[in-house]
Chains A and B, each alone.
Chain A
Amino acid sequence: MAEKKKAGTKKPEAKKQETKHEAPAKQEAKKQAPAPAPVTTGSKEKQRIGVFICHCGTNIAGTIDIKDVEAYAKTIPNVAHADNYQYICSTPGQKKITDAIKEHKLTGTVVAACSPRLHEPTFRTATKEGGLNPFRFEMANIREQGSWVHMHDPEGATQKAKDTIRIAVAKASLLQDLIPKTVPVEKAALVVGAGVAGMQAALDLAAAGIKTYLVEKSPSIGGRMSQLDKTFPTLDCSQCILTPKMVDVGRSPNIELMTYSDVEAVEGYIGNFDVTIRKKAHGVLTFAEAEARGISGGGCNGCGDCEPPCPVIKPNEFEMGMKPRKAIYINFPQVVPLLYTIDWDSCIKCGLCVTACGDKKAIDLEQKDEFVKIKVGTVILAIGFDMFPIEKKAEWGYKKFENVINSLEFERLICASGPTGGHIIRPSDGETPKSVAFVLCAGSRDNTGVGKPYCSRFCCMYSLKHAHQIIEKMPDTIPYLFYMDMRSFGKMYEEFYYRIQDEGAKFIRGRVANILEDPATKNLHVYADDTLLNRPVDIEVDLVVLAAAVQPSWDTDRTRKLFGVSCSMDGWLLEAHPKLNPCGTTTAGVFLAGVCQGPKDIPDAVASAEGAASAASIPIHKGEVELDPYFALCIEEKCAGCGMCVNLCPYTALALVEKEGRKVMEVTEAKCKGCGSCGGFCPGGAIWMNHFATPQIVAQIDAFLLGGEQ
């Protein structure tokens, strides 16, 4: 306890300091924050803390003895009032807080309930309404980290709740008044990834009058959807519904499209992100670029004259390698922007394309990557997915047997603009298959450690669509669908499933054990257990289509780390809350759209994109945003000016300055995020971390170990 008192006396010191160095310079800080109000929590002032214990129905009260905890809370030093209620987050529950603050002249509040990650904002507001500074509130988590995880040990859970409240009261007794800083928000947004989700998000933001940068790593926008032939269950042509959006994106005056570009570096915080974009060299100039170089009337018009003379032949990625392209290429006819790109890895710089281009002078074989710096208020990540490399499931023979293909290859084959003009053929001999097996859950719902444990969500439906397309185009061909469960959960999906059943597709409920090739005919034997008839089956087919799982796109890890976004165990980007904040992330101002957050079909991806766009536009339209006042402060009397902290700061928020003839550290509050990397290190204890100050943390440790029962 002695330690605690000592801790208490430290505080005014910090306070004094704060006001002192607040005075000069730093206009943005000065504008709002006359620094946290004068000290009202001096060690001499008697602290009066109110403790409010929530039943949360039976969520807490079912395990923890509320009466016992309340009686104990009243004995904790500094506690002036303790109360309990069914649901403290309800209006009458919050009223208990506001009333008690006035009635008992409380100096701080503690709510023992759920996680601060859930209701801290609610009770801070209630504390504020009661007349206290909202940061005089501390939460004791007795639900997520109490009643819910110790259901079979009510006594242990009750004891833990008492200790947790004691720890919270110790902190609440030392909390200070803090005032959040308000910073202006840049009226621009960044969308990373221009698949259907990224395009929708960018279009919505642009329509809301926000300048939007749309960054796409490949030469054209469109993403995975542009590779699809038809879409389930309406059988709309994918390109037909997508290309108008692509054109809109290309045309929108509010969208600045940056294709063939990567996010290189990110600095800043919500409202003020400084982003560096690497614009990879296309090797081909746009009209604007040509104009800038003084080539009037020059630039790429997409005529394609450069393509035939190019001697280099490479597989076309868009066509899943089933069609050739040149080293100077566009991947498909509807590319936006219509601009040829040079594949530098295969270009031999022979210059034949330059000659063919002639007067347009659009080709520059020496063009270099360009770095562009932009400033945006909010960011949407829509970085999509890749196909799981299904050859890892060796038992199905992908890449080993010629006539085993994956579903995206099937999409290209059945597409009229694809490599075969829409004819499904066997890769081994070019014949039309008479029977096709679709292997669903290929790599999805797989607990062997090779595949993915999750359901990829759209494979059932597109496989039904594939079966339909076969029946429609090749009436003599029988589609067999090997499925585990048919998951047709969306609007009109179940009806589509019945339709395909009626059309004559064969359904076999059972996971395919293995696939073997007849070396003579290149036909395939598909072995499975039919779990409905309870017997093994061996079906000989001409072609196998593996409905491979999806996984986060290859660049996900690098990108998410740039923006400080977490991922879940399977690598998909982590939302702030799976149900109530599916578009947000734990990094304020960064939002998620589309499949990068988890497998989604097109309607869900578009819906999430619209949600993300709406969320991302809110701070921009509001024009300003409140930042947590958790920044670091320098206690100048203690600072020896060693400068160790300056290098520890990841945000360059700290600097050594000359004051009264000696060097001391100074914090740029707008840059500081309050991580405490400096405060945890400072050998002289000269750094005060707002709301997580050393005396506050030590008081918590002491309260648990030295105070109370147990």
Chain B
Amino acid sequence: MAEEEWKPKIIALLCTWCSYAGADLAGGGRIQYPPDVRVVRVLCTGRLDQLFVLKAFADGADGVLVSGCHFGDCHYLEGNLKGAKRMFMVKRLMKSIGLDDRRFRMTFVSASEGAKWATVVTDVVKTIKELGPSPIKEFSK
């Protein structure tokens, strides 16, 4: 095991209308990206409680990605804005407890931005690999 390349555990929470559709579009276009991200689909990033992100980190996630529609493009008018506000709070909390806030990212990928989704995932995986395993995981061992 030790010899093998370390695989980060990254979870992505995606809204169904924009980012999940964008991820599907990347698939249709066969745009390749690293397979290290697992996806949970919700209707809107406005559905996301900040506790979901914290729960993921407490469970040992090395990285969390939240992705929704661009501002002004939300299927539910302003759900993404409401979600984003909460997610900024998570960022601030992470900073204050000494957890590198680069482990958590919120992005905005529309249903027509398949290529952007691939870029986002590639970049997130790269960042997390650079940061290494989550200290929370080490702590709970």
Interfacial residues, chain A to chain B (CB-CB below 8 A)? 3, 115-118, 141, 143-146, 148-153, 156-157, 159-160, 163-164, 167, 561, 564, 566-569, 574, 586-587, 630, 648, 650, 673-677, 679-681, 689, 692, 694, 697-698, 700-702, 704-706, 710
18 A-B pairs with C-beta separation under 8 A = A144-B26, A144-B28, A148-B30, A149-B26, A160-B38, A164-B38, A164-B39, A564-B77, A566-B69, A574-B111, A586-B75, A650-B77, A675-B47, A675-B79, A677-B47, A681-B86, A702-B59, A704-B11
Alpha-carbon gap, A674 to B82, bound state (A):
15
Given A157-B35, A574-B112, A650-B78, do A680 and B40 touch, yes or no (CB 8 Å)? Answer: no
In the complex, the answer to whether B36 meets A692 with C-beta atoms within 8 Å is no
Interface centre among A115, A144, A630 (most CB of B within 10 A): A144
Contacting residues of chain B (43-89) with chain A, CB-CB under 8 angstroms:
43-44, 46-49, 52, 55-56, 59-61, 69, 72-73, 75-79, 82-83, 86
- Does any Cβ of A come within 8 Å of B24's Cβ? yes
In the complex, the answer to whether B82 meets A648 with C-beta atoms within 8 Å is yes
Alpha-carbon gap, A206 to B20, bound state (A):
37
In the complex, the answer to whether A680 meets B75 with C-beta atoms within 8 Å is no
In the complex, the answer to whether B46 meets A706 with C-beta atoms within 8 Å is no
Given A145-B27, A152-B32, A586-B111, do A705 and B78 touch, yes or no (CB 8 Å)? Answer: no
Query: Nearest chain-A residue to B9 (Cβ)?
Result: A705
Return chain B residues, CB-CB under 8 Å to A587: 75
Alpha-carbon gap, A700 to B48, bound state (A):
13
Query: Nearest chain-A residue to B30 (Cβ)?
Result: A148
- Does any Cβ of A come within 8 Å of B132's Cβ? no
Alpha-carbon gap, A164 to B16, bound state (A):
16
Would you give the shortest CB distance from B119 to chain A, in whole angstroms?
12
Pick from A144, A164, A676: contact of B47, CB below 8 A: A676
Alpha-carbon gap, A704 to B21, bound state (A):
22
Given A569-B113, A650-B78, do A705 and B61 touch, yes or no (CB 8 Å)? Answer: yes
Return chain B residues, CB-CB under 8 Å to A146: 27, 35
In the complex, the answer to whether A689 meets B47 with C-beta atoms within 8 Å is yes
In the complex, the answer to whether A566 meets B24 with C-beta atoms within 8 Å is no
Query: Nearest chain-A residue to B23 (Cβ)?
Result: A145
In the complex, the answer to whether B32 meets A705 with C-beta atoms within 8 Å is no
Query: Nearest chain-A residue to B62 (Cβ)?
Result: A705
In the complex, the answer to whether B112 meets A566 with C-beta atoms within 8 Å is yes
Pick from A149, A163, A675: contact of B44, CB below 8 A: A675
Return chain A residues, CB-CB under 8 Å to B55: 3, 698, 701-702
Return chain B residues, CB-CB under 8 Å to A567: 73, 112
Closest 4 CB pairs of A and B: A676-B47, A144-B27, A675-B76, A156-B35
- Does any Cβ of A come within 8 Å of B31's Cβ? yes
Query: Nearest chain-B residue to A650 (Cβ)?
Result: B77
Return chain B residues, CB-CB under 8 Å to A115: 20, 24, 27
In the complex, the answer to whether A144 meets B43 with C-beta atoms within 8 Å is no
Pick from B18, B47, B56, B111: contact of A692, CB below 8 A: B47
Q: What is the size category of the interface that chain B forms with chain A?
A: 35 or more
Given A569-B112, A705-B61, do A697 and B40 touch, yes or no (CB 8 Å)? Answer: yes
Return chain B residues, CB-CB under 8 Å to A145: 23-24, 27, 39
In the complex, the answer to whether A701 meets B56 with C-beta atoms within 8 Å is yes
Pick from A116, A650, A694: contact of B41, CB below 8 A: A116
Pick from A153, A676, A698, A702: contact of B42, CB below 8 A: A676
In the complex, the answer to whether A681 meets B49 with C-beta atoms within 8 Å is yes
In the complex, the answer to whether A675 meets B32 with C-beta atoms within 8 Å is no
Given A566-B73, A569-B110, A675-B44, do A150 and B35 touch, yes or no (CB 8 Å)? Answer: yes
Return chain A residues, CB-CB under 8 Å to B16: 117
Return chain A residues, CB-CB under 8 Å to B18: 566
Interface centre among A141, A586, A674, A677 (most CB of B within 10 A): A677
Would you give the shortest CB distance from A202 to chain B, in whole angstroms?
27
Alpha-carbon gap, A653 to B21, bound state (A):
27
Query: Nearest chain-B residue to A701 (Cβ)?
Result: B56
Return chain A residues, CB-CB under 8 Å to B11: 701, 704-705
Would you give the shortest CB distance from A116 to chain B, in whole angstroms?
7
Interfacial residues, chain B to chain A (CB-CB below 8 A)? 7, 9, 11, 16-18, 20-21, 23-24, 26-28, 30-36, 38-44, 46-49, 52, 55-56, 59-61, 69, 72-73, 75-79, 82-83, 86, 110-113, 118
Would you give the shortest CB distance from B113 to chain A, in whole angstroms?
7
Given A117-B24, A566-B73, A680-B82, do A153 and B44 touch, yes or no (CB 8 Å)? Answer: no
In the complex, the answer to whether B46 meets A676 with C-beta atoms within 8 Å is yes
Alpha-carbon gap, A692 to B16, bound state (A):
12
Given A568-B112, A574-B112, do A149 and B31 touch, yes or no (CB 8 Å)? Answer: yes
In the complex, the answer to whether B59 meets A149 with C-beta atoms within 8 Å is no
In the complex, the answer to whether A692 meets B43 with C-beta atoms within 8 Å is yes
Would you give the shortest CB distance from B141 to chain A, in whole angstroms?
14
In the complex, the answer to whether B83 meets A680 with C-beta atoms within 8 Å is yes
Query: Nearest chain-B residue to A154 (Cβ)?
Result: B35
Alpha-carbon gap, A693 to B139, bound state (A):
30
Given A705-B61, A706-B59, do A149 and B47 touch, yes or no (CB 8 Å)? Answer: no
Return chain B residues, CB-CB under 8 Å to A706: 59-60
Alpha-carbon gap, A159 to B33, bound state (A):
15
In the complex, the answer to whether A566 meets B79 with C-beta atoms within 8 Å is no
Alpha-carbon gap, A116 to B21, bound state (A):
10
Interface centre among B7, B9, B40, B118 (most CB of A within 10 A): B40
Return chain A residues, CB-CB under 8 Å to B23: 144-145
Would you give the shortest CB distance from A111 to chain B, in whole angstroms?
14
Alpha-carbon gap, A630 to B16, bound state (A):
13
Query: Nearest chain-B residue to A59 (Cβ)?
Result: B27
Interface centre among A141, A143, A701 (most CB of B within 10 A): A701
Query: Nearest chain-B residue to A155 (Cβ)?
Result: B35
Pick from B35, B39, B79: contact of A677, CB below 8 A: B79
Return chain A residues, CB-CB under 8 Å to B69: 566
Would you give the shortest CB distance from A148 to chain B, in whole angstroms?
4
In the complex, the answer to whether B9 meets A704 with C-beta atoms within 8 Å is yes
In the complex, the answer to whether A676 meets B32 with C-beta atoms within 8 Å is no
In the complex, the answer to whether A698 meets B34 with C-beta atoms within 8 Å is no
Would you give the shortest CB distance from B70 to chain A, in whole angstroms?
9
Would you give the shortest CB distance from A409 to chain B, in whole angstroms?
32
Would you give the shortest CB distance from B85 to chain A, in whole angstroms?
9
Would you give the shortest CB distance from A694 to chain B, in whole angstroms?
7
Return chain B residues, CB-CB under 8 Å to A677: 44, 46-47, 76, 78-79, 82
Pick from B35, B42, B59: contact of A705, CB below 8 A: B59
In the complex, the answer to whether B110 meets A694 with C-beta atoms within 8 Å is no
Return chain B residues, CB-CB under 8 Å to A702: 55, 59
Pick from A164, A630, A675, A680: contact of B86, CB below 8 A: A680
Given A144-B27, A144-B28, A160-B38, do A566 and B17 touch, yes or no (CB 8 Å)? Answer: yes
Would you give the shortest CB distance from A81 to chain B, in whole angstroms?
24
In the complex, the answer to whether A680 meets B46 with C-beta atoms within 8 Å is yes
Interface centre among A117, A156, A702 (most CB of B within 10 A): A117
Return chain A residues, CB-CB under 8 Å to B24: 115, 117-118, 141, 144-145
Pick from A151, A650, A704: contact of B79, CB below 8 A: A650
Return chain A residues, CB-CB under 8 Å to B56: 701, 705
A159-B35, A697-B40, A705-B60 are known; give 15 further A-B pairs, CB within 8 A.
Answer: A116-B41, A149-B26, A156-B36, A566-B75, A566-B112, A567-B112, A586-B21, A587-B75, A676-B48, A677-B44, A679-B47, A681-B82, A692-B43, A698-B55, A701-B55
